[in-house]
Structure 1
């Protein structure tokens, strides 16, 4: 297993380098000028000096390698300085946002907790609900519960977040007045009362994101369970006198989780994509809204960094899924 992990980590390096190169070139060649939003009264020579200060006067390959160095060396160095209380990276040039005139990673770290409050809880709720639904739907195939689960899944697949978000706002915030319609990102949790306020404003965005997660994972879980319930080893386990609970929840569930693990692991980065729309609907001042504002302001360093972070997450969780295969199924060996 250790050899496999090392081999996959080595393979991930050229994969991420290729993704970073394509991403950098696409955004660099995209139309737009960071000086376009500057007042027209600013002389052209001043704008040219501002471009040079942003590093736009250098060749493309130089800017690309500087960006890679800052992403993989400078920013991790600043994190280690913060972790151990040192100042080894003090004064080192960092990737600066054109829009905010501040280091990109500092802005991302400020916005990240707001996104994690919503995304992490939504994904956890979605997985916790989806797995039992998939198990029961498969065990009681074509029952009323299975039909209801199928209906909910079709709704989750069919309704996009920007529509379901507006619907829950109209129902629970406007009509019933149970929940706040706008997410207050300035709210700070200090005691039990402030925690309840935070929980109330998280219900609707979490509900919208968890609906898609539940719909997807429950269908995969049901399909995998149905494939394994009719296998020979299940009939053998029942013939040996094992209880139905032991047959389903130990033997069948463990084998069925192998394909579902891939969906769960690779779904973690993809849910951030859903958070981009959800944060716009509920005014959550997180990573998704930061990406949208960066695109609108033509803030290329911010867009490059956030998009590449998503790519790193996909590669990382793909590795985790492969490792979990060996844990769930002893027959799988990588060495």
Structure 2
């Protein structure tokens, strides 16, 4: 297992380098200019000096190399300095956002708690709801519970999140006044009242995303359980006198989780990418909204960093999913 994990991590390095090069070149060749938003009264020589200050006057391969060095070396050193009070990266230049003129990673770390609070929690809630629903729906196939769960899952998967979000706002904010319609990102949780307020403003966005995530995962869980419930090893386990609970929750569930683990693991990067539409509806200043505003402002350093972080998370959780295969299914060996 350790050898396999080491090989996968070693293979991930050239993969990430290739992904970073593709992202950099796609954004490099994309139309748009960060100087286009400047007033027309700005003289051309001032524009040229501003382009040089942003590093736009250097060759493409030089800027790509500097960006890699800043992302993989300078930014981790700055995080170490902030955590332990060292001075390893005191003289190193960081990746600066063209839009805010602030370090990119500082802005990302400021937005990250909002994404984790709302989108991250909704994903956890969605998984916790989806797994038992999928298991019981498969075990009680064609029952009333299965048909009701199938209907709700199809509705949750088919209806767009922006429609569900607006519908909840109209019912629970406008009509009933139970929950706030706008997420207050400036709220500081330092008392019981502020904690309750934080929970109230999280209810609707978390519910919208949890319903969408649960609808997808529960369908995968149900289909995987149905495939395994009729296998020969299940009949053998029952013939040996094992209880139905042991057969379903130990033998069948363990093998059924293999494809579901892939779905869950690859869905985790979406948490950090943010549910862009839902964040726009409820005004959550997460990473998804940050990516949209950066694209609109032609802020290439921010867009490059965010897209590469999402790609990095996908590669990492792919490795985690492969490792979990061996833990869930003893038939899988990595020797």
Q: TM-score range by the shorter chain?
A: over 0.9
Aligned to 1:158: 158
How far the C-alpha of 1:254 sits from its partner, in A, is: 0.7
Aligned to 2:323: 323
Q: Provide structure 2 residue ranges, at least 5 long, that are not aligned to the other structure.
A: none
Preserved CA contact (<8 Å) 1:161 1:274? no
What pairs up with 1:101-140 in 2 under 5 angstroms?
101-140=101-140
Aligned to 1:234: 234
SS in 1 for 2:181: coil
Aligned to 1:91: 91
Aligned to 1:175: 175
Deviations 1:149-179 (A, max 9, x none): 1111111221122222111111111112111
Does 2:251 match 1:251? yes
SS in 2 for 1:36: helix
Output the CA distance in 2 between the equivalents of 1:84 and 1:101. 25
How far the C-alpha of 1:263 sits from its partner, in A, is: 0.5
What pairs up with 1:44-55 in 2 under 5 angstroms?
44-55=44-55
Q: Provide structure 1 residue ranges, at least 5 long, that are not aligned to the other structure.
A: none
Distance 1:162-1:273 versus aligned 2 partners, 3 A rule: farther
Aligned to 1:57: 57
SS in 2 for 1:267: helix
What pairs up with 1:74-89 in 2 under 5 angstroms?
74-89=74-89
Output the CA distance in 1 between the equivalents of 2:88 and 2:195. 38
SS in 2 for 1:171: helix
Deviations 1:197-218 (A, max 9, x none): 0011001111111111101110
Aligned to 1:189: 189
Output the CA distance in 1 between the equivalents of 2:287 and 2:133. 31
Aligned to 1:270: 270
Distance 1:258-1:121 versus aligned 2 partners, 3 A rule: same
Deviations 1:242-294 (A, max 9, x none): 11111111111111111110010001112444511111110001111111111
Deviations 1:34-79 (A, max 9, x none): 1111122111100100000000000011101111111111101111
Output the CA distance in 1 between the equivalents of 2:83 and 2:8. 28
How far the C-alpha of 1:147 sits from its partner, in A, is: 0.7
Output the CA distance in 2 between the equivalents of 1:106 and 1:309. 14
SS in 2 for 1:35: helix
Instruction: State the TM-score, normalized to the length of structure 2.
Output: 0.98
Preserved CA contact (<8 Å) 1:225 1:256? yes
Output the CA distance in 1 between the equivalents of 2:194 and 2:95. 36
Output the CA distance in 1 between the equivalents of 2:271 and 2:95. 26
What pairs up with 1:278-289 in 2 under 5 angstroms?
278-289=278-289
Preserved CA contact (<8 Å) 1:224 1:259? yes
Preserved CA contact (<8 Å) 1:209 1:274? no
Preserved CA contact (<8 Å) 1:209 1:271? no
Does 2:204 match 1:208? no
Output the CA distance in 1 between the equivalents of 2:276 and 2:87. 35
Output the CA distance in 2 between the equivalents of 1:297 and 1:170. 32
SS in 2 for 1:100: coil
